[in-house]
């Protein structure tokens, strides 16, 4: 049960829960959950609790994660 939380693989960071922890995660290419911090696969029983707005976590991220979360926009868009 996902309590109405969207769980698409289109992106976004989610607070997820599995049998032994809660953490921030993103969907992997195979549809499973991956830890947002180190990319490790999370157990199959992981479920989304709530989406987390990027604005809430950006101040706490190292620069490399900020770049990954907010890719640079092209300046030559017309």
Per-residue pLDDT reduced to its tens digit, 35-58: 988 889 999 999 999 999 878 887
What gap in Å lies between CA 73 and CA 48, rounded to an integer? 29
What gap in Å lies between CA 28 and CA 40, rounded to an integer? 10
The residues spanned by each domain of the chain are: 13-69
pTM: 0.65
How far is CA 44 from its chain centroid? 16
Q: Which residue has the tokens 């987390």?
A: 52
Dihedral sign from CA coordinates of 48, 59, 68, 38:
negative
Of residues 59 and 23, more confidence is placed in 23
Mode of pairing for the β-strands spanning 22-27 and 47-52: unpaired
């Amino acid at each position: 049960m996902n309590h109405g939380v969207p769980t698409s693989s289109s992106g976004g960071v989610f607070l997820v829960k599995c049998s032994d922890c809660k953490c921030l995660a993103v969907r992997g290419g195979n549809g499973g959950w991956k830890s947002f911090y180190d990319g490790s696969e999370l157990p199959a029983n992981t479920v989304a609790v709530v989406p987390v707005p990027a604005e809430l976590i950006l101040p706490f991220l190292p620069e490399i994660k900020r770049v990954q979360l907010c890719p640079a926009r092209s300046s030559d868009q017309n």
